[in-house]
């Protein structure tokens, strides 16, 4: 359907721009945060349809941020996809065990990334 609001939580400006540009080109609205704390605040304020969360963030990690989102009744049902450079099998298992709804490796494969976003939004 597109036009859904997607929150991008990513501290690297180039990665954030790539994800934003890809999503906006596909018709999605985007919100952006550079830190987990800012991402949590924006999620609480705007209730996005999906959150794309980096794992390695300054201060609070993406895994810790997910825990806080899941603990809040207002944000606990928002699907969250981990977008990370942590590509080792045990990293992926740890990330998925933390409760993420999906996993995308960096650098992103645009076609796979867009398909994963659409699939996650269609699940709701």
Q: How far is CA 6 from CA 20, 51, 56, 87, 89, in A?
A: 9, 6, 19, 23, 27
pTM exceeding the 0.85 threshold for the entire prediction: yes
> Has domain 5-123 been given CATH number 3.40.50.2300?
yes
Mean pLDDT, the chain, rounded, equals 95
CA angle 45, 49, 54 (to 5 degrees): 80
Average pLDDT of 71-99? 91
pLDDT of amino acid 86: 75
pLDDT of amino acid 1: 64
pLDDT of 79 > 90? The answer is yes
Tens-digit pLDDT profile for residues 5-41: 999 999 999 999 999 999 999 999 999 999 999 999 9
């Amino acid at each position: 359907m597109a036009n859904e609001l997607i929150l991008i939580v990513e501290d690297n400006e180039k990665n954030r721009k790539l994800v934003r540009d890809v999503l906006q080109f596909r018709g999605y609205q985007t919100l952006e945060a550079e830190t987990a704390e800012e991402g949590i605040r924006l999620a609480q304020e705007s209730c996005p349809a999906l959150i794309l969360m980096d794992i390695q963030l300054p201060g609070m990690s993406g895994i810790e941020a997910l825990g806080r989102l899941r603990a809040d009744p207002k944000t606990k049902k928002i699907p969250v996809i981990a977008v990370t450079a942590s590509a080792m099998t045990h990293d992926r298992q740890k990330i998925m065990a933390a409760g993420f709804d999906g996993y995308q490796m960096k650098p992103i494969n645009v076609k796979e990334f867009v398909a994963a976003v659409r699939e996650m939004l269609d699940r709701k």
